[in-house]
Chains A and B, each alone.
Chain A
Amino acid sequence: MVIEIFVAKRTVPLTGKGTQLVEMGSGDPHYSDQPFEVHLPDDVVRDRVENVDSDEKTNGVIRLTDLRKSYGEVRAVRGVDVTIASGQTVAFLGPNGAGKTTTIDMMLGLVRPDSGNVSLFGLPPSDAVRAGAVGGMLQTGSLIEYLSVRELIKMVGSLYPHPLDLEEVLDLTGTGDIADRKTTKLSGGQTQRVRFAIALIADPDLLVLDEPTVALDVEGRRDFWNAMQAVTARGKTVIFATHYLEEADAYADRIILMARGQIVADGPPSEIKAKVGGRTIRASIPSVHRETLESIPGVVSASQHGEEIVLVCSDTASSDGALRDLLHRFPEARNIDVRGAGLEEAFLKLTSEDDVDSDAMDESR
């Protein structure tokens, strides 16, 4: 499957934006970890962001092309290709260590990719960021001292060309009643709300949120997603990372499933849910063909290691049916185990099948 994605994307010509879509290897002058970077003047950048041709807008405000990043031995991201259209809400879903944060950090220009290219609105991340087109909430990080919540949000808002109204942001993020507190006197969830407010006041075209609801209670989550919906209603593009399928399902138009540094599935929530949200049947059955297992009604995918077989079904009804069918066909089946597929499990299964392919790809490069 991954091969298909790669091949498909590779053959797409990088239309029109030749100079901006140059490979962002080492020595790219636009990269924001340069000390005192030479930049285009502000107004030029802003102008370019606002007037990027409609082609770039409709075909993808965000384009990640074969992104790769290793930390020593750890291959954190290995070949991510994504195009995200304007106005979409996209969830990066994956277990710990999947490479979500690394991908997001490269998207924001915080981490330099080993190879591959990031283009936001047809610009390198550093230029898009400097034009105020991007707002974000990083996975790690807390607030600085000696300011009140209100002052801090205002300070960040002042850096952007058209910030949202402060009172509106306080209201949306539920920080109104802590607005006059010192930033150091907040609970974890309150801090998280303030961090969200900081991302929101920018009123950016692209909002990137890395596990935004992590420290929030139920009410906090509800407030958060209500605020998010107000944002997306204005046609903004939102990208968020999460561990929770339910969250991705409820709020995203599209889910990108990541595991071990790769995209293992990419599609609308209903499709992804069918792939990973279902139930897994495990059993020991001697000498059976994978094709046979896959032909059982209700089975989405099947794998086999010796006698151990694993069937993935999309929901309880289909796993019930599949189990009946399985026992009917293979009465000798032993060690039967049916459980809700943990995300991690589902991911690992999905990736382990593709691993070989992608390693071969790596070698052939």
Chain B
Amino acid sequence: MNGSTYLRYEMLRTLRNRRFLVFSLAFPLVLFFTIAGPNRHVQLGGIAFPLYYMTGMASWGTMTAVLSSGGRIAQERSVGWTRQMRITPLTTRSYFTAKVLSGYMMALFSIAALCLAGSAVGVRLTAVQWVTMIGLLLVGLIPFAVLGILLGHLLSVDSLGPALGGMTSLFALLGGSFGPIVTSGFLFSLVKCLPSYWLVQAAKSAIDGGGWPPAEAWIVLAVWTVVLARIASRVYQRDTARS
């Protein structure tokens, strides 16, 4: 089986989905320009505000991009397409891989758009900083890719919009995408168990350089990934009934 044609059409379908483009690309950009634009000369604890805000929006935008592959799975399940694919040589693994890769493709577009926007309002980073930030973001997104697959099997198409929207906003808010969060105490130790916290830290690595990744980050990400993957495979196994 030659999966490349399939993958290409999957990516094409992702790009043609306007609603999706608006959510994962336009929203963070608009927020960035309206909030970081007027505050471009503000310093926040020694950090340029646009840089700070760019990293926050990058974590939120990429999270939305990757999670929305779950929405596409739910949609395909609801019209019976998943069953149709199960009687082709396409393996389950390739099916999910294509979904995750197209989610990542959107995440890359989101990062690119925000980086350009950042440069436009004066964010300056070295090549090493850009590469580190993007690389760490991509790693930090792994649990969200798995969560997307899980949600795609748990949710109906009706509940999907609110569920995905709510979940990304909550994760983003608690992780610190939208602004400073607690930095000490019990609440902070809870927040540090969230994958979104480390996603935000991944983006912020561009600011403070060596702050990420501590061992803690890798452990949190690995635990979330493994646990979510376990649940997802359970749910997937159960999901054989026809719709």
B178 smallest CB distance to A (angstroms): 31
With A35-B236, A160-B1 in contact, is A144–B79 under 8 Å at CB?
Answer: yes
Interface residues on B, range: 20 to 34
The answer to whether the Cβ of B188 comes within 8 Å of any Cβ in the partner chain is no
CA distance A161 to B240 in the complex (A): 26
B12-41: which have CB < 8 Å to A? 12-13, 16-17
| B144 → A minimal CB distance (Å) | 19
Please provide the chain A residues from 195 to 219 with a CB less than 8 Å away from any CB of chain B in the complex. Answer: 198, 202
Enumerate A145-175 residues with CB–CB distance to B below 8 Å: 145-147, 151, 154-156, 158-161
> A156 — which chain B residues lie within 8 A by C-beta?
88
* 8 A Cβ contacts from A120-135 to B: 129-132, 134-135
Instruction: Map CB proximity to A onto B89-103 as digits: 1 under 8 Å, 0 otherwise.
Output: 111110000000000
With A and B bound together, what is the CA distance between A151 and B6 in angstroms?
10
A144 partner residues in chain B, CB cutoff 8 A: 13, 75-76, 79, 81
Instruction: Verify if A105 is at the interface (C-beta below 8 Å from B).
Output: yes
The answer for the CA separation of A130 and B95 in the assembled complex, in Å, is 13
Interface of B (DSSP majority class): helix
Min Cβ gap A236→B in Å is: 16
- Asked if A140 and B13 sit within 8 Å, CB to CB, the answer is no
Classify chain A: how many residues form its interface, as a range. Answer: 35 or more
Do B88 and A141 touch across chains, with their CB atoms under 8 A apart? no
Consensus secondary structure, chain A interface: loop
**Chain B residues, Cβ within 8 Å of A130:** 89, 91
Asked whether B83 is an interface residue with its Cβ less than 8 Å from the other chain, the reply is: yes
Instruction: Say whether B16 contacts A129, CB under 8 Å.
Output: no
Residue among A132, A147, A155, A156 with max Cβ neighbours from chain B (10 Å): A155
Q: CB distance A146 to B12 under 8 Å?
A: yes
CB-defined contacts of B89 to chain A, threshold 8 Å? 42, 129-132, 159-161
| Residue B5 interfacial (CB < 8 Å) | yes
A155 in contact with B83 (CB, 8 Å): no
Q: Assess whether A34 is interfacial by the CB under 8 Å rule.
A: yes
Residue B189 at the chain A interface, CB threshold 8 Å = no
Interface check A77, CB cutoff 8 A: no
From A107-115, A273-281, A285-293, give the one contacting chain B: A107-115
Cβ–Cβ contact A159 & B6, under 8 A = yes
User: Given the complex, which residues of A lie within 8 Å of B17, measured CB to CB?
Assistant: 145-146
Q: Which 7 A-B pairs have the closest CB atoms?
A: A141-B80, A158-B5, A35-B233, A146-B13, A146-B16, A155-B9, A33-B240
Q: A35-B236, A158-B2 are in contact. List 8 more A-B contacts (CB 8 A).
A: A32-B92, A36-B93, A36-B233, A108-B86, A130-B91, A146-B16, A160-B89, A198-B84
Q: List residues of A whose CB falls within 8 A of some B CB.
A: 32-37, 39, 42, 101, 105, 108-112, 129-132, 134-136, 138, 140-147, 151, 154-156, 158-161, 198, 202
